[in-house]
Amino acid sequence: MYVCIFVCFITKAVHVEFASDLTTETFLAFFKPFVGPTGKLIELGSDCGTNFVGAKHILKLWCSEAIRWCLDNEGVIWKMNVPSSPHFGGLWEAAVKSMSIIRGE
């Protein structure tokens, strides 16, 4: 069992989804519904897991020129940590650590 954790950098609210695998498709299945009701997304941060790198690539492919222009116009950016540097993750890495403790890992 895997966990997908979303952390709001404004309210520090945490949203947790349980996943059966670490594929890009699974991440996107959780990401799309999460972004809709939460309002405007300004910045998305993640580690450099292959599922996130793949999702970033797929999201770029899905976006038409008009959508890409709109995202660029709104200033939405996806920042990825430097590989092997979880200390750059801050809030979301703290949530990952908490989830690991809860799961007994």
Write out pLDDT tens, residues 8-34.
777 888 888 888 987 777 877 887 777
Give mean pLDDT, residues 37-53.
67
CATH assignment of the domain containing 37? 3.30.420
Distance from C-alpha of 60 to C-alpha of 55, rounded to nearest angstrom:
8
Mean residue pLDDT of the chain comes to 70
> The domain containing residue 59 runs over which residues?
2-103
- Whether the CB-CB separation of 8 and 50 falls below 8 Å is answered with no
Q: How many domains does the chain fold into?
A: 1
Q: If you ran DSSP here, which 8-state letter would residue 93 be given? A: H
Contact 5, 95 (CB under 8 A): yes
Residue 55 buriedness (CB in 10 A; 0-12 / 13-18 / 19+): buried
Instruction: Return the higher-pLDDT residue of 96 and 12.
Output: 12
Question: Could you tell me which of 36, 26, 37, 34 has the C-alpha nearest to residue 3?
Answer: 26
Look at residue 37 in the predicted model and tell me its pLDDT: 65
- The pLDDT tens digits for 50-87 are 666 677 677 666 555 655 665 566 566 766 666 655 55
Which residue did the predictor score with more confidence, 3 or 83? 3
